[in-house]
Amino acid sequence: MTTISVEQALAGHVAEGGEVTVRGWVRTRRDSKAGLSFVNVSDGSCFASIQVVAPATLANYESEVKKLTAGCAVIATGTLAPSQGQGQSFEIQAESVEVVGWVEDPETYPIQPKAHSLEFLREVAHLRPRTNLFGAVTRIRHCLAMAVHRFFHERGFYWISTPIITTSDAEGAGQMFRVSTLDVANLPLGKDGAVDFGRDFFGKETFLTVSGQLNVEAYCLALSKVYTFGPTFRAENSNTTRHLAEFWMIEPEIAFADLNDDARLAEDFLKYLFRAVLDERGDDLAFLAERVDKTAVSKLEAFINSPFERIDYTDAVALLQKSGQKFDFPVEWGLDLQTEHERWLTEQHVGRPVVVTNYPEQIKSFYMRLNDDGRTVAAMDVLAPGIGEIIGGSQREERLDILDARIAQFGLDASHYQWYRDFRRYGTVPHAGFGLGFERLVVYVCGLGNIRDAIPYPRAPGNAEF
Amino acid sequence: MTTISVEQALAGHVAEGGEVTVRGWVRTRRDSKAGLSFVNVSDGSCFASIQVVAPATLANYESEVKKLTAGCAVIATGTLAPSQGQGQSFEIQAESVEVVGWVEDPETYPIQPKAHSLEFLREVAHLRPRTNLFGAVTRIRHCLAMAVHRFFHERGFYWISTPIITTSDAEGAGQMFRVSTLDVANLPLGKDGAVDFGRDFFGKETFLTVSGQLNVEAYCLALSKVYTFGPTFRAENSNTTRHLAEFWMIEPEIAFADLNDDARLAEDFLKYLFRAVLDERGDDLAFLAERVDKTAVSKLEAFINSPFERIDYTDAVALLQKSGQKFDFPVEWGLDLQTEHERWLTEQHVGRPVVVTNYPEQIKSFYMRLNDDGRTVAAMDVLAPGIGEIIGGSQREERLDILDARIAQFGLDASHYQWYRDFRRYGTVPHAGFGLGFERLVVYVCGLGNIRDAIPYPRAPGNAEF
């Protein structure tokens, strides 16, 4: 007798006729008039559950098996046999069905075998992984995360875990969360009457990081190819379907590289990830295609087969102005592109992913490399059909004199950036990188409408139970 | 002409006599009387640098090559040839050496080709990855992180990113960092005069997580095998060589499992990780064995080849009491084991890794499963020679009535644990898991004396530059 996962049982890891044990939770039970019960058992190892055929001859058939409801935990042992049910390879003809855990008050069990609203499921985040949808999202999220690490590892990148608690604001903008151990009922004050952060845990005012990019750049100038994959934080009102206060970000950084290298890396990267999901999570994608997003499979296949288009920002503005399309937001050189503009470019104009490059310097960050025209920077946004911007990146300003001027121009406190300018004094090289929000990727792949469904425990103002 | 990494060049990815380009940073330069310069170039792809042989016939030989100092960035192109130098497979007979970035004021460049104190290097954390030691630590850290994900992925575990910002204290103890967007100069007060966290970002008082365990347990009861790998935080005085305020933790959780399954998983896991480092980072381990810890290789090999011993806590106390050893801390049933006791058990008594099980209930956490004796819990600590405790784990209390009693017994606010008790009402099963600090692993493998050297940017009170 071998204990195996439902995935292994369905994939025939044990020969037909073999004795197996599976362990999991009941999805449904159906009793036939012939004196048999069909109990579908899921263990989360794959999308499908396995059918356990329980005969009336089981000692606990009347007392237990016929009382099984959704969510009960069972250990089923029996013979692996070809399934007569449709769409299933194997079933288990049970010799025993042990009930490990009952469901208290089955009538009120929140995860009934029926459709639930996503709003409701967000309120029971600790139970929603038991649903088909969140099982699928969790497995796809895992598959994407593994592919992220594998992609970089195979290409000689090193993973760097940059600081979460930080004193500097990588973007020079954006609302940050303060991290403190000071007693709010009794804040220490300095002579000037202001709070004395010198007495806080780190002896300074500290915040949650908004990006690991600046930190990882220093590692790039030693190890050539590096990346971050860790949580980042924005204290902006996240009560929208597109923003999270806490999200995971991926930020590769490459040395001896320019914006072209960066765009190529972004293209290879996204295609590798989507290929992995198609190869490894066909079961979950098929469910999503049926219930959530008809294009769940086809959009990934189309993406993989499309060479990315490149458009200069200046050309993109001209195209948008000539489009004849009515937009809510103005289109004008010097203004940032809005999602509606991005989606027109990638969906209507090109019909495949687009890299828009060389944005006006004043709408981008201080660390992006100034182009020779003096009015644009070597920045890029990767736009994908169906979602708009999915990656933002740039070549970094490696020239110390220009970086110093940019820090001043943006009105930043130069003392916060001493270490960042410092490594450019020593063997500076052209380098570039990009960043993407991991949950945005999950939203895109799964076709989710709300980014809070792409993270294991949703979080939003007013909802921090977990 | 192919651009390749130093690792690829040394490994002979291009045939001897092939034209290659490598890009990196100068480690050393030596000029021979024969009118040649030997420039060692490192790009961080592996421990070794490659020797670039620059002849005096290069157009920039006098003007540039002979001025190269440690840290300068170069692009060298030439023929890959067998090296006459010792210990090197190949060298590059250069046809061009382009200097991309000079070192400003070489005399004061902090990373000279000599030994540096670790204290000094912590002050220049953005430059220390350029040293041999921190290059090695970074690559080993990466290797371990990849092996963590690979181990779990190969065994059907799913990665769950549990919340970083949380309202609950998983341990029921431990100092936490507060996360807030309230204006400290103008805190909103409630009617009772206390700070009104209802007006904070999440409408509640929130903290940085100390552990993802409770959150991941809910996913375990849906997906059977799950793990976390993410940052956790403890606001304890971390100004020691063993504690970090911010560190990455790994927490697997398995369903239908008891403490024995948990101990087996821990053993398989650690051996898998150390096997990966031996297989993949022999170059860095050899350096560490030479300079940092003579046993860098042998201790990992011994670990892999040792079956773990199991000792009941009660027996361990008896052994310690009979040992004749003089300890600083008392040994008595009911007291926790200190590092000196742990090390005696694993190093002196057994001479290999030990799993100590079944600790007194009052010194362990509320969520650990009460044994039938009523006075111990199904907890385990894995002790390793040279470090002591490296993993802590337990079977979880899955019985709702006992869990409720334990929450009350520990004086915890039951309202914080409603969701945690809730999923035990529905198909509860025996489950178990463990946790280990990722930096502790790095410290152990690299033989480091201070845990702040195991994290890319060291952090301690008074040092939060980054």
Q: Per residue in A1-40, pLDDT tens?
A: 799 999 999 998 898 899 999 999 999 999 999 899 999 9
- Which residues of chain A are within 8 Å of residue B218 when distances are taken between CB atoms? 125-127, 129
Structure token pair of residue A82? 């070809």
pLDDT tens digits, one per residue of B432-441 = 999 999 999 9
Task: State in Å, rounded, how far the first CA of chain B is from the last one.
Answer: 40
Best of A77, A122, A400, A426 to substitute, by most chain B Cβ atoms within 10 angstroms, is A426
Residue A337 has pLDDT above 90, yes or no: yes
pLDDT band at A169 (very low <50, low <70, confident <90, very high): low
Contact B180 A180 (CB under 8 A): yes
CB contact under 8 A, B100 and A75: no
Q: What is the pLDDT of residue A458?
A: 86
Q: Answer with the residue of higher pLDDT: B460 or A210.
A: A210
Q: What is the pLDDT of residue B243?
A: 86
Residues B319-334 have a mean pLDDT of: 96
What pLDDT score was predicted for residue B84? 79
With CA atoms as reference, the chain A residue closest to B182 would be A178
Whether the predicted interface score ipTM is above 0.85: yes
Q: How far is A284 from chain B (nearest CA, A)?
A: 14
Of B25, B429, B466, which to mutate for an interface test with A (greatest number of A Cβ within 10 Å)? B466
pLDDT at B461 over 50: no
Instruction: Identify all chain B residues contacting A158, using CB atoms and an 8 Å cutoff.
Output: 44, 138-139, 142
Chain B residues within 8 A of A177 when measuring between CB atoms: 165, 179-181, 201
Which DSSP string do the residues of B394-435 spell out, in sequence order?
A: EEB---HHHHHHHHHHTT--GGGGHHHHHGGGBS---EEEEE
Top pLDDT among B354 and B419 is at B354
**% of chain B with per-residue pLDDT over 90:** 85
Annotate A301-345 with three-state secondary structure.
HHHHCCCCEEEEHHHHHHHHHHCCCCCCCCCCCCCCCCHHHHHHH
- Write down the pLDDT at residue A91: 95
Residue B51 scores a pLDDT above 80: yes
Where, residue-wise, is CATH 2.40.50.140 in chain B? 2-101
A432 pLDDT exceeds 70? yes
Q: Give A5's contacts in chain B (Cβ within 8 Å).
A: 156, 224
- CA pair distance B312, B289, nearest whole angstrom: 34
Set of chain B residues whose Cβ sits within 8 Å of the Cβ of A426: 71, 101, 103-104, 109, 111, 127
* Residue B342: strand, helix, or coil: helix
Residue among A465, A49, A451, A23 nearest A244 (CA): A451
Q: Is A42 helix (H, G, I), strand (E, B) or coil?
A: strand
* pLDDT band with cut points at 50, 70 and 90 for residue B92: very high
Interchain contact, B425 vs A104, CB within 8 Å: yes
Mean pLDDT of B49-55: 97
Q: Which residue of A has its CA nearest to B153?
A: A146
For residue B220, the distance in angstroms to the closest alpha carbon of chain A comes to 9
Residue B386 contacts residue B345 (beta carbons within 8 Å):
no
Residues contacting A372, CB < 8 A, separation 6+: none
Integer Cα distance of A75 and A61 in angstroms:
14
Using a CB-CB cut-off of 8 Å, the residues of chain B touching A163 are: 246, 456-457, 459, 466
pLDDT band at A211 (very low <50, low <70, confident <90, very high): very high
Contact A180 B178 (CB under 8 A): yes
pLDDT of residue A129: 96
Q: Of A23, A201, A284, A423, which to mutate for an interface test with B (greatest number of B Cβ within 10 Å)?
A: A201
Interface test with A, best of B100, B105, B126 (most A CBs within 10 A): B126
Q: How far apart are CA B363 and CA B352, in angstroms?
A: 25
Q: What is the least distance, in Å, from the CA of B161 to any CA of chain A?
A: 7
Location of each CATH 3.30.930.10 domain in chain B: 132-173+210-453
Taking an 8 Å cut-off on Cβ atoms, the answer to whether A201 and B420 are in contact is no
**Interface residue of B10, B154, B219 to substitute, partner A, most A CBs within 10 Å:** B219
Answer yes or no: is pLDDT of A69 > 60: yes
CATH superfamily of the domain spanning B2-101: Nucleic acid-binding proteins (2.40.50.140)
pLDDT at B10: 95
Residues of chain B positioned with their CB less than 8 A from the CB of A111: 426
Percent of chain A past pLDDT 70, that is, above it, reads: 96
Flag if B256 and A430 touch (Cβ within 8 Å): no
**pLDDT category of residue B413 using cuts at 50, 70 and 90:** confident
Residue A303 is which amino acid? F
Report the half-sphere exposure of B346 (CA within 13 A, side-chain side): 27
Put simply, the answer to whether A177 touches B194 (Cβ < 8 Å) is: no
For A163, which of B102, B221, B457 is closest by C-beta distance? B457
Among A439-443, B78-82, B112-116, B419-423, the least confident range: B112-116
- In angstroms, the CA B214 to CA B220 distance is 10
Residue of A108, A82, A90, A86 lying closest to A41 (CA atoms): A90
Which pLDDT does position A413 carry in this prediction?
Answer: 86
Chain A residues touching B141 at Cβ < 8 A: 159
SS (H, E, C) chain B: CEECCHHHHHCCCCCCCCEEEEEEEEEEEEEECCCEEEEEEECCCCCCCEEEEEECCCCCCCCCHHHCCCCCEEEEEEEEEECCCCCCCEEEEEEEEEEEECECCHHHCCCCCCCCCHHHHHHCCCCHHHCHHHHHHHHHHHHHHHHHHHHHHHCCCEECCCCCEECCCCCCCCCCCEEECCCHHHCCECCCCCECHHHCCCCCCEEECCCCHHHHHHHHHHHCEEEEEEEEECCCCCCCCCCCCEEEEEEEEEECCCHHHHHHHHHHHHHHHHHHHHHHCHHHHHHHHHHCCCCCCHHHHHHHCCCCEEEEHHHHHHHHHHCCCCCCCCCCCCCCCCHHHHHHHHHHHHCCCEEEEEEEHHHCCCCECECCCCCEEEEEEEEECCCEEEEEEEEECCCHHHHHHHHHHCCCCHHHHHHHHHHHHECCCCEEEEEEEHHHHHHHHHCCCCHHHHCCCCCECCECCC
| Cα angle A91, A96, A101; round to 5 | 100
Q: Does domain A132-173+210-453 correspond to CATH entry 3.30.930.10?
A: yes
Q: How far is B317 from chain A (nearest CA, A)?
A: 35
Helix-helix angle A132-154:A282-291, to 10 degrees: 130
C-alpha distances out from residue A390 to A242, A250, A317, A380, A382, Å? 12, 12, 19, 11, 6
Q: What pLDDT was estimated at residue A174?
A: 62
Cβ neighbours for B174, distance < 8 A, ≥ 6 positions apart: B210, B234, B236
In contact, A177 and A207? CB cutoff 8 Å = yes
Task: Pick the residue from chain A with its C-alpha nearest to B184.
Answer: A195
Indicate whether A42 pLDDT > 70. Answer: yes
Contact B146 A159 (CB under 8 A): yes
What is residue A161's predicted lDDT score, i.e. its pLDDT? Answer: 97
Nearest by CB to B101, which of A100, A178, A427? A427
- pLDDT value, residue B460: 52
Question: Which pair of tokens denotes residue A273?
Answer: 């990830």
DSSP code at position B348: I
Interchain CB contacts (distance < 8 Å): A and B: 311
Query: Which residues in chain B are closer than 8 Å to A185, comparing Cβ atoms?
Result: 194-195
Burial of B286 (0-12, 13-18, 19+ CB in 10 A): middle
- The Cα of B113 is separated from the nearest Cα of chain A by a number of Å equal to 14
Specify the pLDDT at position A462. Answer: 43
A408: three-class secondary structure by DSSP: helix
A358's tokens: 């060389």
pTM exceeding the 0.90 threshold for the entire prediction: yes
> For a pLDDT cut of 90, what percent of chain A falls above it?
85
A130 vs B contacts (CB less than 8 Å): 221-222
Nearest to A149 among B146, B185, B246 (CB): B146
Residue count (chain B): 466
User: Are B464 and A100 in contact (CB < 8 Å)?
Assistant: no
Closest chain A residue to B192 measured between Cα atoms? A185
The closest CB to that of A159, out of B142, B163, B463, belongs to B142
Contact between chains at A420 and B126 (C-beta distance less than 8 A): yes
Question: What average pLDDT score do residues B414-436 get?
Answer: 93
The tokens describing A261, both together, are 């290298």
Overall average pLDDT of the A219-242 stretch: 90
Of A19-28, A104-113, A422-431, which gets the smallest average pLDDT?
A104-113
Residues A178, B177: C-beta atoms closer than 8 Å: no
Nearest to B219 among A129, A162, A202 (CB): A129
pLDDT of A241:
84
Alpha carbon of B114: minimum distance to chain A alpha carbons (Å): 17
Question: What's the confidence (pLDDT) of residue B462?
Answer: 42
**CA atoms of B458 and B466, how far apart (whole Å):** 9
Residue partners of B315: CB distance under 8 A and separation at least 6: none
Give me chain A's average pLDDT, please: 94
Residues in chain B closer than 8 A to A187 (CB atoms): 184
Closest CA to B81 of B73, B70, B89: B89
Confidence band of B415 (pLDDT split at 50, 70, 90)? confident
Residue of A nearest to B151 (CA): A146
Q: State which residue of chain A sits closest to B218, comparing Cα positions.
A: A126
Per-residue confidence (pLDDT) for residue A171, from 0 to 100? 55
Give the nearest partner residue to A427 out of B72, B145, B202, using CB atoms.
B72
Mutate to test the interface with B, among A108, A126, A207, A248 (most CBs of B within 10 A): A126
Report the chain B residue with the minimal C-alpha distance to residue A256: B23
pLDDT reading at B58 higher than 90: yes
Segment among A167-171, A176-180, A184-188, B314-318 with least mean pLDDT: A167-171
| Structure tokens given for A281 | 């999570």
Q: Which one, of B408, B18, B428, lies nearest residue B217 by Cα?
A: B428
- B451: amino acid identity, one letter: I
Task: Work out the number of other CB atoms within 10 angstroms of the CB of residue B53.
Answer: 21
